[in-house]
Amino acid sequence: MNTTDTARVAAAKEALKYVKSNYVIGVGTGSTAMIFLRELRNAISGGIISDVLLVPTSTETEIEIVNLGLAGLLRYPWQVDHIDVAVDGADEADRAKNLVKGGGAALTREKIIDYWAREFIVIIDEAKLVDKIPMKHPIPIEVLPFAWTIVKRRLEEEFRGKVELRFGSGKRGPIVTDNGNYILDYTPGTDIDPVIVEREIKGIPGVVEVGVFNGKKVSRLIIGKTDGSTIIL
Ligand code: 5RP
């Protein structure tokens, strides 16, 4: 296991302490969230946690839940009336717990589930803790395909900075999200106020969701360190 994995496993194990039997659990997307899911599977098969339901935030997570033998616990949002706890990763986080998410293009379903949860727990390795967001990653914005050039132009003209339509590997053309939309990656030209950016970009017609998550929605930010310890903000 490399040091990043050690840090992520430490954060995932810490997050597991906030999961109890009979909980409805929102399961995030990405490699760190998948480590959490495997830790959760081990706790279930070891009889430590029982009678939970799992609500995935992406097709990736849904497939992994099935692959881990947990298909019977899989539920969609319309099959549950609440989420007790959501555990998710992030691309970067600041000390006020504001996040950039959407590196895996799952930001919309993640925000729906994460913001809905009674407790929203974020797990990252220490390399993702930054002084100010966005630092190392652009802000992903999910847009209706019909509107992508219009939204791109408005972002460039009114919000300044650089906007790129996301292309991926294994497919020609733009990547298509689980919701059938495109992703614009926006790098602001100046420092941003995350709360204002989240609200104002969300207000542009054609924008489905913005990959800035408000720190006030995050109950705990668990930072795994390469020595296997954790810090909780
Ligand atoms: C997916 C996400 C992920 O949580 C984020 O990209 C972090 O992924 P990883 O744990 O693989 O670094 O927001 O849309």
Query: Considering 60, 110, 126, 209, which one is annotated as catalytic?
Result: 110
Contacts of 185 by beta carbon, 8 Å cutoff, 6+ apart: 138, 139, 140, 141, 163, 164, 165, 166
DSSP percent split of the chain into helix, strand, coil, nearest 5:
35, 25, 40
Q: Which of 153, 150, 159 is nearest to 199 (CA)?
A: 159
Q: How remote is the CA of residue 205 from the centroid of ligand 1, in Å? A: 26
- Is the CB of residue 222 less than 8 Å from the CB of residue 121? yes
- Which residue's CA is the closest to the ligand 1 atom numbered 1? 104
d(CA 39, CA 233): 21
Q: How remote is the CA of residue 87 from the centroid of ligand 1, in Å? A: 12
Q: Which of 74, 72, 17 is nearest to 48 (CA)?
A: 17
Q: Supply 46's token pair.
A: 């070891």
Residue 103 CA: nearest ligand 1 atom is 6
Residue-wise pLDDT tens digits, 187-211: 998 888 999 999 999 999 999 999 9
Q: Which of 155, 154, 119, 148 is nearest to 232 (CA)?
A: 119
d(CA 11, CA 18): 12
**Length reported for the chain:** 233
Radius of gyration in angstroms for the set of CA atoms belonging to the chain, rounded to a whole number: 17
Which of 37, 91, 177, 222, when mutated, tests ligand 1's pocket best, judged by the most ligand atoms within 8 Å of its CB? 91
Tell me how far the alpha carbon of residue 229 is from its chain's centroid.
Answer: 22
Q: pLDDT value at position 80?
A: 98
Q: Supply 11's token pair.
A: 């954060």
What is the CB < 6 Å shell around ligand 1? 28-33, 88-91, 101-107, 110
Kindly list the structural domains of the chain, giving each domain's residue range(s) and its CATH number in brackets, ordered by start: 3-130+215-232 (3.40.50.1360), 139-211 (3.30.70.260)
Per the annotation, the verdict on 158 as an active-site residue is: no
Q: How remote is the CA of residue 88 from the centroid of ligand 1, in Å? A: 8
Residue 98, phi then psi, degrees to nearest 5: -65, 145
- Residue 205: asked if its preceding bond is cis (omega within 30°), the reply is no
Q: Supply 105's token pair.
A: 């293009």
Q: How remote is the CA of residue 148 from the centroid of ligand 1, in Å? A: 23
Residue 33 CA: nearest ligand 1 atom is 10
Q: pLDDT value at position 187?
A: 96
Residue-wise pLDDT tens digits, 113-171: 999 999 999 999 999 999 999 999 999 999 999 999 999 999 999 888 899 999 988 88
Q: pLDDT value at position 4?
A: 86
d(CA 224, CA 4): 9
- Is the CB of residue 195 less than 8 Å from the CB of residue 214? yes
Does pTM top 0.75 for this prediction?
Answer: yes
- Is the CB of residue 84 less than 8 Å from the CB of residue 117? yes
